[in-house]
Structure 1
Amino acid sequence: MKTNLKQEKVLVLGAHPDPSRYAYRAAHMLKDAGHDIVLVGRRDGSVAGSEIQREIPSFAPGEIDTVTLYVNPTIQEGYKSVVEALQPNRVIFNPGTENPEWMISLKAKGIEPDVACTLVLLSTGQY
Structure 2
Amino acid sequence: MQNTGKTLVLGASTNDDRYSNKCVKLLRKHNIETVAVGIKEGVISDVQIQTGKPCEAKVQTIAIYLSPKNLESFHDYIIGLKPERIIFPPGTENPEFYKKANAHGIETEEACPLVMLNTGVY
Q: Note the residue ranges of structure 1 that are not aligned, 5 or more in a row.
A: none
TM-score by length of 1: 0.91
Give, in whole Å, the separation in 1 of the partners of 2:98 and 2:59: 18
**Matched length:** 122
Give, in whole Å, the separation in 1 of the partners of 2:48 and 2:56: 17
Structure 1 residue matching 2:55: 3-state secondary structure: coil
User: 2:24 maps to which residue?
Assistant: 27
Q: Note the residue ranges of structure 2 that are not aligned, 5 or more in a row.
A: none
Query: RMSD over aligned Cα, in angstroms?
Result: 1.2
Write the mapping of 1:17-96 to structure 2, written as runs, cut at 5 A: 17-60=14-57, 63-96=58-91
Give the partner amino acid of 1:74. Answer: K
* Cα deviation digits, residues 46-88 of structure 1 (max 9, x gap): 102111111221134xx00000000000010011101001110
Q: Which runs of 4+ in 1 moved over 4 A?
A: none
TM-score by length of 2: 0.95
Give, in whole Å, the separation in 2 of the partners of 1:44 and 1:96: 24
Give the number of the structure whose residues are more often helix, by fraction: 2
Task: Determine if the alignment matches structure 1 residue 115 to structure 2 residue 110.
Answer: yes
Report sequence identity in percent.
37
Q: Give how far 1:21 is off.
A: 0.6
Give, in whole Å, the separation in 1 of the partners of 2:3 and 2:100: 27
